Chains A and B, each alone.
Chain A
Amino acid sequence: MTEKSSSLYQQIVEISEDYLGPTAERFINRQIETHLAIVPEKIKEKDLKKLVQWIKLAFSLISNDTDESTEYAARLLNLIESSASYGKAR
């Protein structure tokens, strides 16, 4: 379970790096620790929707580009579907 969560965390960071570069990991860690009060590497699929809402809000404070913000959120939400497919396949 921990390996899968770590992989989810890494996927979140990897997607975030496409927008925030080297600041992505710090950004994600802050969102998870502050708003979800969990250890970032231990994030689970059930936390993802809430996290994406916070990320979208925080991202809107950084950038005015709504298209980019929407794309970022959509890519993160796709991780839920990917995780669900992975679970069904198992």
Chain B
Amino acid sequence: MKTRSLLFIFLGLCLLYIVATVALPIDPAAAERYNLSPVAARFLNLAVAIPFSGIWLIAWYGFSHLRSYARRIRNTKEGPAFQSIAQGTKILVFSLPITAVMSAFLNYLAIQDANFEPISTILRNYVRLLLPFISFMYISRGASMLLKTVKHPRGVQYPRFSTIGLIILSTTFTWLIINRPSTVDGLGAAYFMPDWLVLSTIAVPYLYMWTRGLYAAYQITMYKKYVKGSVYKFFLSYLSRGFTTIILVSVLMQFILTVSSRILRLNLTPILLIVYVLVFLSSIGYIYIARGAKRLNSIEDV
């Protein structure tokens, strides 16, 4: 599909999200929890939606330059690797407005009918998982292919302390899920599913996705380290930094969302602060990607 067509679809999704934020009824329980009037709640929604949409456009900017570069070099040795990474980035970028729009409509349906809340929550959890999962698999595959194009020592295959790091991440995440606040029938407020189902169909896929994603960021960094070319490496460092940032931020955001019931106990200001900081960080990641891709494209231009 042409880049322009993709852009129109993306802009349409962003617009749909902003319209949904304004047009759909607000959650009365949330408004009461934070002591907000309906008007104030709508303004707050917009105060989140508009910066989010702006960040998504920055994400698109980063992706479009990466895509342009990947297409340029598709018939070279590194071409298939960059194409896979670009494909994964496309899915990750599109997942931003898609999950937001679906969440907004699922929330609306849950507000309209309390019986729909469990279905809405379950669907929202799986939607949040599915697209980033697919994107991380593509990025991971691309990063692995990229590293194979250069000669590197065998020891770089796995970063130091990766095993203990993953054990800590897995146990912390699993503990937070198991110890989440419960509602009726022993089902968790964040999931409306029994623990075994949450662990097997949400926790395990998330942990696998994060492992692959973080490893991909490491592999791209190692590719940059072992590839030849001082100027090429310098330009590649932007891509490396960008991917490391967006993967880390994506992991952190998903981690926070999956244990969101604990976050919701905070006052509004810390919640907004956490959201804005994470979104700002991810925008920096995409700006780095755009910068790196543009500079790499400049080599192919002359």
Contact = CB atoms under 8 A, between A and B. Distances in A.
- Best-surrounded residue of B78, B301, B302 (most CB of chain A within 10 A): B302
Interface in A14-52: 17-24, 26-27, 30
Interface stretch (B130-138, B196-204, B230-238, B273-281): B230-238
A68 B230 contact: yes
A20 B231 contact: yes
A21 B233 contact: yes
Contact of A26 (B76, B228, B229): B76
Contacts of A58: 302
Contacts of A18: 228-230
Contact of A30 (B76, B78, B227, B302): B302
A18 B76 CA distance: 18
Name the prevailing secondary structure of the A interface residues. Answer: helix
A62 B228 contact: no
Given A22-B77, A22-B78, A62 B302 contact: yes
B73 to A, nearest CB: 8
Nearest to B296: A23
B231 A22 contact: no
A23 B232 contact: yes
A59 B230 CA distance: 12
A26 B300 contact: yes
